[in-house]
Each structure stands twice: as C-alpha cells, then as structure tokens.
Chain A
C-alpha cells in the first residue's frame, strides 16, 4: 500500500520553479531517500507535503486522501510529522518540554504526555539531557531533539530533512541506528540526505531530483551508477562514493 502519493507536483516562487512536475510514491514501512544538489527543491517538496506551502499544481495523497493545501496542524493530527532542516527548538524551554509539546497531540493529560516524552527521550538516548534548555544543546543533540519532537506525535509517516548534516562520523552511525529503529517501530520514513554513506546504509529506494525534476529513481546501488545522477553531481562537492 502507498502511504504517500505525489503526482504532478509543481511549486513556483514568483518566476522560480522550485519543484517541477514531480511524481513520487512511498510504500508503507519503507525508507525512501530524496537526494539532489543544493537548491534542487528537496525541502520545498517536504514543505508542500507538510502543508507549509500549497502546491501550485498537482496533488498529494496521504493514506489515500488528498491533503494538498491542508494546514500543518491538521496533517500532524492525521499522522504526518516532519523535522526542519534549520532546526527549530523551543530554545528557552527544557528538552522534556520540547518533546512534551509533540506528545500532547495524542493526549490532553500532562502526565501521559510526560511519560510519552520520557519514553521517546530514552529511545533517542537523550534522557540525560531531559532538564537542559534546548537552546544550549550541541548541534547533534538538537537534530536528535528535532526527531524526538516529531516522533512524539506518533506519526505514521516521518519526514526527516537533513538530520545528519553537521554531524561527526560516529554521530552519523548513531543516527543511522536511530532511524532504523524508528522504522522498526512501524513508521514510514522519508529522508532528505546529502551524506551518501547514510543514504546507502538506510534507504530501500532513492529518488534523485535536480532543478525540481526527477532524474533517477531506484535502489541505492542502481542510482549511484546512473549516468544522469553522476552528471548531476559531477564537479559538485558530493562525491557519489560518499564523504
């Protein structure tokens, strides 16, 4: 079953076409990676799916229902959660508070929300930072907090926008483990990622876009051998072999 179906998605910003006639589907339970050079339109795809932007053209279906143009808070109620490429912690609040905000989506009880948040902090190895202010965390911890907040809403589909960027190699390995764990809990994961090593290790399928259009799709191995993809990345800073 397809949990997300994007058809003919186009998004213009004034004269600029950030996403151009994109088709894309995700099956329930898989990990799909969306890759492409800087400015290719990846985050814009996420923002359209998550309800931040209304698509200019095209249709987005989530669990079979059309959701294009819906507000973000309604979508998260339906089971869609996302992280932001530029992390947005509630800075002056504690880590626990941050995650509880997410947990409140499924409960009105503070006690239940706290228990839920603590459970998620444990899964993400953040429990020792529970009472720290989110604004004081390291970048790696902020990225994990971003995932924790999203996971606390009990999503069926989780959109992760470059959660590895800026992490050290050991932290990347840890993050790969975390994301696998998330999938094993039954969530479908849609990631945007630049770090090819992570993409290779994680994803069941990869979609490559350039200038807003899809240029390749397939298994990680197939995609890295694709001529168009190599050309798109040629001379770029992202060696397909990973960095």
Chain B
C-alpha cells in the first residue's frame, strides 16, 4: 500500500463511520452530543480562517452565531421566509458586520484585536437584550425567540428526529473542512499566513495585508452565521445571553488552540478532545461539584498550552507519520 492509498483509505473509513453513526446510535441524547460536537468543530473551523490563518485572535465570534440565528428566525417568524434562505441572508449580514468591525480593528496588534472583539460582542449582546423591536423586527429582548413547531418539514428546516440534523451538520462540517483545506493551499492561504506573521515583509512582496485579512474575516463571519441558523433550528429556542455570551466565543477559541490553531484537522481534534469531556463532566459531576467541569476545562487548556503550545494536532500527526511509514511501502509518492 502506498502512502496516498493509506490516506485515502483512512479518509473513506472515517467518512463511512461518520455517515453510518446514526444507524448505530439509538439514544437521541448521545446523537445530540455528537451533533453539538460537529457544530463546535464547524464553528472552530470557520473561526480558524481568521484566528488561525490570518494570525489574530478573535474572542467574540459568538456574536456572528447570534446574527445568523436572529436573521433567519426573524425572517421566518415575521415573513415566513424559509430558514434556508434566511441562513444565507444571515451569512451576508454577518459578513458585512464582520467587515465593518474588522476594518479598524484588524490593523491592531493581537491583544487589542482580542479586546475589541470581546467588547464588540458584549456590546451587541447587551444591545439586543435591551431591544424588543428593532424597527420592524421583533427581537424580544432578553427573552429570546421561540420557533413554533411545524412538524417534519425540509422547507421549514424542522425535523422530529435527530438524524436529519446530524446529516446536515455533518455535511456542513465536511464542506467547511474542504473549504479551509482548499484555502490553505491557495494564494489566499499563503497571503494570509504571510501577512499574519510579518505584515511589512508580506506587503513588500505584493500582499495587501489589510484587504486579505478583511476577506478572511468576511468568509469566517459568513460561515459562522450559517451555524447560527442551524443552532436555532436544532434547539427551536435561543436567547441573547446563551447564544451571544462570551462562553461560546471562548469555547471556540479554546477548541482551536487545544486542537491546533491554523491547521485543518485542529478544530475537529480539539472538539473531539473537549466536547465529550465537557458534556460528561457536566452531566455527571456538576450536581455534586458545580464548576468542576470548567476547572478541568481550564486545566486542560493550561496543560496543553504548556506542553504542546502548537496544539494536539502536532504530536498526533507525528505519531500518524510514524505509523504510516511502518505500514506503507517505501518509495510511495511524497504527500
């Protein structure tokens, strides 16, 4: 077996397992946990376009999840527009807002950018909590929005079982991974990496660093907002504090850093490592010891940063390389 064949085989096995999983898992609770795992992996991949490739640290990305959820839900509730269309609309709104906020802030040093994104996200959350009606749009302040049940309906993006949600988020995840893979190997990816590292040097090589960062921001915000609509349809209820709060923003950044910032697999590995742990400690330990799961969360983050500052993907891919070398016939094509 050559190296390329091994990679392909593993990818196919992985895909087969992922697509077959709902056949094996009956419990909707477990399926929900996996759906959320994919949801987080998706969000982190979208975040990675800015936080990983463009080399800055956005710490308020939940705000774009919220923009996606609010846009599609308001359009659906008030104008009966299908959430699928609302999803795209939310993406466009989020990309526009991302560009507006990114224009002055992406020039700044990392620490400032991180602070600004936090302040912006918190500011918008507080704002939405104060607003019942935004012009003609009903946002319903801190109480949030409830989507009425319509029964199984693809057009209304509502399903009585978990499986359809599972497949939707799985496909979204595969698409975003393919997209980031493509970007990382394209001119845009090279330019983002260069501009994030040494802006002055990149500019002297013909890179308009500010514009490329804005492009990354727009793509990232667009993709993030799509997941917001998904979340709204999955839960059929959301409110500002839960959806736009800093907890979600931080968790995205944590998953990225633990998995490996700026790598394709990092978000998936990070979500695989953190989400189950997070869910199970929350379910089994939070009664006796509230907060323990977050202490563990923080400790893992600190330990990974201390011992694997590049994230878990780096050592894992080294192990994989070694295994692959042992299995494959030498002389195979270089990857």
Contacts and interface: CB of A to CB of B under 8 A. Distances in A.
Interface of A: 50, 52, 71-73, 76-77, 81-82, 84, 88-93, 97-98, 100-102, 104-105, 107-108, 110, 113, 149-150, 152-153
B7 interface: no
B187 A108 contact: yes
A82 B194 contact: no
A90 to B, nearest CB: 4
A73 B206 contact: yes
B126 interface: no
Interface string B160-202: 0000000000000000000000000111001101100110111
Nearest to B193: A93
What are the nearest 3 A-B pairs in CB distance?
Answer: A88-B201, A76-B206, A105-B206
B204 A84 contact: yes
5 contacts: A90-B201, A92-B197, A98-B194, A101-B202, A105-B205
Given A88-B198, A91-B197, A153 B185 contact: no
Contacts of A77: 206
B200 A90 contact: no
B105 interface: no
Contacts of A89: 198, 201
Contacts of A73: 203-209
Contacts of B208: 71, 73
Contacts of B202: 90, 101
Nearest to B203: A72
Nearest to B197: A90
A82 B201 CA distance: 9
Contact of B203 (A71, A93, A104): A71
Contacts of B191: 101, 104
Contacts of B198: 88-91
Contact of A50 (B193, B204, B207, B209): B204
Contact of B204 (A82, A100, A107, A110): A82
A45 B164 CA distance: 64
B185 A110 contact: yes
Contacts of A52: 200, 204
A93 B53 CA distance: 12
Given A72-B200, A102-B206, 5 more contacts: A90-B202, A93-B194, A102-B205, A104-B191, A105-B205
A72 B204 contact: yes
A101 B194 contact: yes
B205 A81 contact: yes
Contact of B190 (A50, A72, A101): A101
A227 to B, nearest CB: 37
B205 A76 contact: yes
B193 A104 contact: no
Contacts of B205: 73, 76, 81, 101-102, 105, 149-150, 152-153
Contacts of B186: 110
B204 A97 contact: no
A88 B199 CA distance: 9
A90 B201 CA distance: 8
A89 to B, nearest CB: 7
Q: Which of A50, A72, A101, A104 is packed against the most chain B CB atoms within 10 Å?
A: A101
Nearest to B205: A102
Nearest to B199: A88
A11 B284 CA distance: 68
Contact of A90 (B185, B194, B204, B209): B194
B204 A76 contact: yes
A189 B194 CA distance: 25
A72 B207 CA distance: 9
A58 B200 CA distance: 24
A77 B203 CA distance: 11
A108 B205 CA distance: 14
Interface in B216-269: none
